[in-house]
Structure 1
Amino acid sequence: MQLKPENNMKKITIIAMILVSMGISAQEKAVTMKGDTIIVYENGTWEKINKVKKVVDIEGTVEATVEIDEFSKSKKIRTETWTKFGKNKLGRTINGSLARVDDLTVFTISYSGDLGCLSEYSSTMKVKLTNGEIIEFSQISDSDCGDYPSARFIPLKKEQLKDPNYIDLLEDNLDILKQFDWETIRLQGTEYYTDIIPNVSRKMEKPEQFFRQHLISADKK
């Protein structure tokens, strides 16, 4: 049985009152009956963070190759490159692919424009997903100041790379990337940044599934 809006509001208010009575600090997250995430403030007011969107399962159709090092037995997986799967308002595009070595997964991204440099020390890639979450990536490859810079990005913040449990943090972010399509990618260079949106074309009907498709295909290997 679904609650009427006014009943749902009453339940939110009750949750807020309970949190306040328990001495919860300034604000706490709560989930409504509809699955929306809200912030409940100490004074009983609340604010919606994001609305949950239904997760649709997809099939990974990206080609992936596997190599096993004959000495270390390390397993390397690479996916095919998606060309021009995203573009900015000036028509500049990005290409991308996945590379995985054992339990470490990174994405190689190249951009057809000027960002200054893609720097090992300062460049990031932020990916906004359809569920409202933003996953931040750090560059872990050498700096590239060429006309068409390319870099490898790992879905972890700089400070998380130093965390002893960084593999667990990485897996958490990869799980989220596998569930939701991307809406916007912000690529930060040393001088400029650019915002990228999915570039739909005859060859690329679902560019918003880039991360999902490549991760699912890699997991099958």
Structure 2
Amino acid sequence: MSYMWKRIKLEIYHCSICKFSVDVDCMRDPPPLAIFFSKAHEHQLNLIPRKISFDCDACGMAGSCQQCDFMIHQSCTDLLEIINVNRHEHRLSRRLHLSPGSWVCGFCHKEVDWSYGAYSCSVCPNYAIHSKCAIRDDVWDKLELKGIQEEPQEIEPFKVINENLICHFSHEKHSLQLNEESVISDGSIRCEACVLPIYSQPFYRCMQCDFILHKTCAYLPRKKRHFYHDKPLTLINMW
């Protein structure tokens, strides 16, 4: 089966007089000879049916507009405008080019050429990601977010009662009081969130029962994006 698939894919239509070849798939479903890609460029883009060396103006990667040398991969004409990636907390918008300066991709950590297209964050002024890195299957959720109302980014894990007193979502029936004094214990006092012992770290203690949280654990965000999953993860109370 694998051999047959490779053999069929190698079949082409060929003109021996002018050495012109067309792949079978391109004959069945030929790409348009010209398109208008108003989201990225003002002029008509024409298909170049030969392999040439160029840098795509949308993604910056090596691979047109005949009026001004604007060139773009055929696949890059479908780049979405607003997306989420699991490497960043905020939405990213596609830019025709970044502002001049030094940029590093939030995924591959390689340089991003600011003069080419990329995705960037409007909330975090220094965050950008290569277009091709942003649309990897293990990075984004394949959703166009343009026109979709953004959900609140931050859901506070607790309500502040006063300077040292909070009501945490994991223990809403009682208030927790901050203790920042040095605490040295034998490890018997454990945080209800991470289950690690509390030694000398600041912590919140329930005023009516034995419920205790590290201060750092009490501040953990309710929602978090993680590179192991394309959807945001929600912190829940298992007790």
TM-score, length basis structure 1: 0.22
Higher strand fraction (1 or 2): 1
Which structure is larger by alpha-carbon Rg, 1 or 2? 2
Higher helix fraction (1 or 2): 1
Q: Which has the higher contact order (CA 8 A, sep 6+)?
A: 1
